Amino acid sequence: MDDKKFVKEIQSKEEDYSRWYLDIVKKADLMDYGPVKGTMIIKPYGYAIWENMQQDMDRRIKETGHENAYFPLLIPESYLKKEMNHVEGFAPEVAWVTKGGNEELEEPLVIRPTSETIICSMMSDWIQSYRDLPMKLNQWANVMRWEKSTKPFLRTSEFLWQEGHTAHATHEEAEEEAMQMLEVYRAFAEEFLAMPVVAGIKTENEKFAGAEHTYSIEALMSDGKALQAGTSHHLGQNFSKVFDIQYSDKDNQMQYAYQTSWGSSTRMVGGLIMTHSDDRGLALPPKVAPIQVVIVPILRGDKEMVKDKAHELAKQLKALNIRAKVDDREEMTPGWKFNEYEMRGVPVRVELGPKDIEKNQFVLARRDTGEKAFLSLDSFTQTIQDTLAEIQVNMYNKAKHFMDSHTYEINSLEEMKEQLLQEKGFMKSWWCGDIACLDHVKEETGVTPRNIPFEQREGHDKCLVCEKESSTTVLFARAY
């Protein structure tokens, strides 16, 4: 088999980014298309990535005092209709169940596009007194928003996510919660996925349907387009008023609860891919990689001896909770395997032949830098541990450097248009606060406001559209 087979088959990123992305998800065997438009199958290697993400995110959610629960998939139409902005936002994109068994349903049911309405309807029963607050729930679930096209992981009708739903006694507490969960998302993205993000608050026109305000983290993909990687909503009393979530406070007065909701999804898998991968295929930060180290024995001479040594090394790594795999198949050449695991994004490759063993050495190849080195077997496990840690940091730094060097201070619509002709990226611009100016930017350039970053440009200047004096900067970008 041609050693270069897989490399050749991946479309170059420069030439066609979209094709490159599709090549990677298919050839790294992360997914396949389902029979219904807008659907996909998450294949084992892709699902293993998601499981690693879930495990780490779940730990963070529990450590911040939330409990998991499970709410029904189907929501009565009447529930969806209760919060006016919410139904306007979601009704056009829901799937409708109209028949159960052999009977037409009296009231159509929707497959949850998100679960605020059904969870609020239950919270209304569960919350009676200030002693029942705060109530901090999370669920891992599938949700559905009707789509006709499929962009694997990024845009599919059904996707997997976690959605947190909380109720609090005061506005302040709900605000703290919404901010805390945004921080959980930021830390997860940067520490676990090595994916730098910009945290901020959404502009009014981009907030969640039914929220008082929405916070988001926005990541910059390697084509200069933005990806929203997590959102946290302060719902105020919008839902508690329509679902009657009232509690009696310490003075026995009835009060409406303040609420939040927040979600992160399999979309992040797409973000992960577009942050780190290259023309050789997928690249995964060690923390999220299903296989962290692949050991490829070079089967010459005393094959069994080499295999045994490879398995012994893998065992040493596994004892340290390092996800190691030996590929000792004889029908594939080492070169084929090197390409295969590079293409699947395995952070570290160990090569080990009979001569290496004789010299008490091994070859270590890094997926992130492409470097290869001969190193002593004496400090094998320590070397691997250190290298994995280094790769995690290096991948973050590389992505951070890309983001920083592709973040532009833009002072007028003209400058923005020029920038888009050169190179895409995050664009920080002054904005007067008028939604009409945002709409104008979008019409003229296709660029949308990602958020109002917590880290603002210093000083003040003219709005990029209307030229009114303003002291707020907005993060703009073309977005997925």
Binding site for a second copy (CB under 8 A): 32, 34-36, 39-44, 47-48, 50-51, 67-76, 79, 92-102, 108-109, 111, 118, 121-122, 125-126, 137, 141-142, 144, 146, 157-158, 160
Strand 293-297 versus strand 348-352 pairing type: parallel
Cβ contacts of residue 88 below 8 Å, gap of 6+? 209
Token pair 């060690």: residue? 286
Residue (32 or 455) nearer to a second copy, CB: 32
Residue (38 or 236) nearer to a second copy, CB: 38
Cβ 475 to a second copy shortest distance, Å: 30
Cβ 97 to a second copy shortest distance, Å: 5
For residue 204, give Cα distances in angstroms to 83, 87, 103, 420: 17, 17, 43, 25
Cβ 180 to a second copy shortest distance, Å: 19
Cβ 158 to a second copy shortest distance, Å: 5
Q: Which two tokens stand for residue 215?
A: 């916070």
Supply the DSSP symbol for 129: B
Cβ 306 to a second copy shortest distance, Å: 23
List phi, psi (to 5°) of 361.
-135, 170
Residue (76 or 354) nearer to a second copy, CB: 76
Q: Which two tokens stand for residue 162?
A: 């976690």
Contact 229, 218 (CB under 8 A): yes
State the amino acid at position 373 in one-letter form: A
Contact 395, 283 (CB under 8 A): yes
Cβ 115 to a second copy shortest distance, Å: 11
For residue 52, give Cα distances in angstroms to 49, 63, 253, 399: 5, 17, 46, 21
Contact 473, 433 (CB under 8 A): no
Supply the DSSP symbol for 12: P
Residue (14 or 106) nearer to a second copy, CB: 106
Cβ 276 to a second copy shortest distance, Å: 22
Cβ 148 to a second copy shortest distance, Å: 8
Residue (65 or 446) nearer to a second copy, CB: 65
The three-state secondary structure class of 55 is: helix
Residue (14 or 107) nearer to a second copy, CB: 107
Residue (309 or 337) nearer to a second copy, CB: 337
Residue (263 or 453) nearer to a second copy, CB: 263
Length of the chain: 480
For residue 156, give Cα distances in angstroms to 159, 258, 265: 6, 32, 11
Cβ 149 to a second copy shortest distance, Å: 13
**377 C-beta neighbours (distance < 10 Å), count:** 16
CA distance 353 to 296: 9
The three-state secondary structure class of 142 is: strand
Residue (139 or 216) nearer to a second copy, CB: 139
CA distance 439 to 425: 19
Contact 230, 185 (CB under 8 A): yes
Q: 408: which strand partners?
A: 427
CA distance 178 to 195: 21
The three-state secondary structure class of 245 is: coil
Contact 395, 368 (CB under 8 A): yes
Cβ 156 to a second copy shortest distance, Å: 9
CA distance 288 to 186: 16
Residue (34 or 89) nearer to a second copy, CB: 34
Cβ 379 to a second copy shortest distance, Å: 30
Residue (167 or 221) nearer to a second copy, CB: 167
